[in-house]
């Protein structure tokens, strides 16, 4: 399964790091569970949220069990259109941004099924395209 979203993100980059802005795609979603694959801001210098990070999180009972994989990326909350592609094939989860492979992780917590959708927290997005392919 592959989910592709083309969107523009906007937020205040001086956001509260206790509730960092995030955006992405939920895959293999179940009731308050699944993989959350996307981007967030983190506190790189302990003054404000200034480092954007791509990550794959496992969520169970509505709470993240921690990032399974993460990587620093350039700021994408810039008002420009970006393409996020999330792939799930067997136990492999991938994230590409603007055609560049960013993350790849093998995990079997949510091995099959579930729903796919978009999530946001503290980010305004304009979605231009959202495709789900098998």
How many CA within 13 A on the CB side of residue 14? 0
Q: pTM for this one?
A: 0.85
Token couple for 30: 């179940």
Q: 3 near 25, Cβ under 8 Å? A: yes
* Fold of domain 2-122: Jelly Rolls (2.60.120)
SS (H, E, C) 77-88: CCCCEEEEEEEE
CB 92 within 8 A of CB 129: no
Q: For residue 10, what pLDDT band results from cuts at 50, 70 and 90?
A: low
Q: Compute the average pLDDT of residues 36-55.
A: 73
Q: What tokens does 70 get?
A: 């993460």
| Predicted confidence (pLDDT) per residue in 71-86, tens digit | 999 877 777 888 999 9
Of residues 22 and 110, more confidence is placed in 110
């Amino acid at each position: 399964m592959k989910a592709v979203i083309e969107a523009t993100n906007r937020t205040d980059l001086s956001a509260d790091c206790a509730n960092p802005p995030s955006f992405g795609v939920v895959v293999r979603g179940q009731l308050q569970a699944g993989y959350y694959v996307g981007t967030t801001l983190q506190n790189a210098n302990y003054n404000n949220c200034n480092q954007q990070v791509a990550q794959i999180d496992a969520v169970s009972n509505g709470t993240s069990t921690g990032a399974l994989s993460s990587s620093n990326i350039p700021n994408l909350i810039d008002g420009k259109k970006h393409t996020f592609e999330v792939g799930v094939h067997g136990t492999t989860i991938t994230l590409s941004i603007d055609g560049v492979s960013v993350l790849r992780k093998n995990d079997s917590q949510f091995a099959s099924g579930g729903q796919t959708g978009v999530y946001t927290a503290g980010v305004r997005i304009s979605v231009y395209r959202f495709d789900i392919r098998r």
